[in-house]
Amino acid sequence: MTPASADYPATRFRRLRRTAALRDLVQEHRLSAKDLIWPLFVTDVAGADIEISSMPGVSRLTVEGAVRAAETAARLGIPAVCLFPYTDAALKTETCQEAWNPENLSNRAVRAIKSAVPDVAIMTDIALDPYNSNGHDGLVRDGVILNDETVEALVRMALAQAEAGADILGPSDMMDGRIGAIRQALESQGHKDVSILSYAAKYASSFYGPFRDAVGASGALKGDKKTYQMNPGNRDEALRLVARDLSEGADMVMVKPGMPYLDICATVKQEFGAPTFAYQVSGEYAMIKGAVLNGWMKEDVVLESLLAFRRAGCDGVLTYFAPDIARLLASS
């Protein structure tokens, strides 16, 4: 309901825009470094720790580089990082057993960061695509992505990540029933304090292209992911998925991609009141970064893009701009 106001000239909305002090005083939504999660790409493939061509300014990092990035996050006040592995092609198989190897790249990076920077929260990704020779988030048989068999694999993956010291698990696979199965396994194995940030409403989007370059999945993917990721035309389904994941034990929920789905973010927050996050995905980053590098937009467009998430009701955002934003906020 729109609050009533007196007619002009008794009400002049420009009065409260007249000075910077007045504008600050009545600003409704604010952005802080504490609202950010910084995604990091990690590799131990020789020569792969370079800038990603489709994501200018973003590089794959060695484990040591990821530790340094986490130290930077701590200095800038960014509370969490999220790890995505660029896996050696020799370790990718149809059975994806590297996903739950206690010594896999992701788990080694978790332990290294937690040892060096214990106060930075570590989020991990739960999906099989970094370890799958066919590039899918789930196990595949005769061209069909298997749901229940994949959930069993994801549970093993989740337990390995929890054992490594992950604070937040991020199931991004979109298999049915995986949140409940992971939560039950965590409880039974003594990991009751590990949080789940569910990719509850993850759409089958073309905005993911640069990410697949970053993790080395672009060439491997056979077919598409439309049998498990959401149809971009659906809104009510997103609400049903969020409701299900919360009922199964998710502590937080995510909408992905971000800016093209701000309506979903707003509705999820309004309907459920649960901690709600969005992922400003690789394609969003690439478009904004490219425009800034070409001089078509000023750098402060980055802050505007993130403020939109807060205005829509998001409690936080995964964004590759996290360190840039933190520095801009600190200097303002």
Specify if 84 maps to a domain: yes
Is 138 inside any structural domain? yes
The predicted structure's pLDDT at residue 245: 98
Q: What is the pLDDT of residue 5?
A: 82
Structure-block tokens of residue 118 = 């214990």
Rounded CA separation 113/92 (Å): 24
Q: Are 99 and 134 in contact (CB under 8 A)?
A: no
In-domain check, residue 10:
no
**Residue 253, domain member (yes or no):** yes
- What pLDDT digit, counting tens, does each position of 143-165 carry? 999 999 999 999 999 999 999 99
Residue 170 half-sphere exposure toward CB, CA atoms < 13 A: 24
Is residue 15, in this structure, part of any structural domain at all? Answer: no
> Residue 302 corresponds to which amino acid?
V
* CATH code for the domain of 150: 3.20.20.70
Residue range(s) defining the domain that contains residue 211: 31-331
Residue 128: Cβ-neighbour burial (10 angstroms; 0-12, 13-18, 19+) = buried
Catalytic member of 92, 202, 269, 289 = 202
CB 123 within 8 A of CB 37: yes
Closest CA to 44 of 83, 100, 2, 4: 83
User: Comparing C-alpha atoms, which of 323, 320, 183 is closest to residue 245?
Assistant: 183
Q: Is residue 256 part of a domain?
A: yes
The one-letter code for the residue type at 286 is A
Q: What are phi and psi of 293, to 5 degrees?
A: -65, -30
Q: Are 80 and 317 in contact (CB under 8 A)?
A: no
The yes-or-no answer on residue 192 being catalytic is no
Rounded CA-CA distance 332/330 in Å is: 6
Q: What pLDDT, on a 0 to 100 scale, did the predictor assign at position 1?
A: 61
State phi, psi for 260 to the nearest 5 degrees.
Answer: -70, -10
22 within domain boundaries: no
pLDDT given at position 172: 97
> 316-319 and 36-43 as β-strands: parallel, antiparallel, unpaired?
parallel
Ramachandran region, residue 146 (left: φ > 0; alpha: ψ -120 to 50; beta: rest): beta
Strands 80-86 and 140-141: unpaired
SS3 2: coil
Burial status of residue 32 (CB atoms within 10 A of its CB: 0-12, 13-18, 19 or more)? middle
Three-state secondary structure readout of 266-312: HHHHHHHCCCEEEEECHHHHHHHHHHHHCCCCCCCHHHHHHHHHHHC
Q: What is the pLDDT of residue 211?
A: 83
Task: Give me the pLDDT at residue 33, please.
Answer: 97
Spans of the chain below 70 pLDDT: 1-3, 217-219
- Token pair, residue 112, equals 């290294």
**Residue length of the chain:** 332
Distance between CA 245 and CA 242 in Å, rounded? 5
3 found inside a domain: no
* Closest listed residue to residue 181, CA positions, set 193, 189, 130, 268: 189
**How many structural domains compose the chain?**
1
- Do residues 120 and 73 make contact, with C-beta atoms less than 8 angstroms apart? yes
Find the catalytic residue in 225, 256, 269, 289. 256
Any catalytic annotation for residue 202?
yes
Chain centroid to Cα 293, Å, comes to 24
Pair 68, 25: CB distance under 8 Å: no
Q: Is the dihedral angle over the CA atoms 149, 150, 151, 152 positive or is it negative?
A: positive
Angle formed by the axes of helices 236-248 and 178-188, to 10°? 10
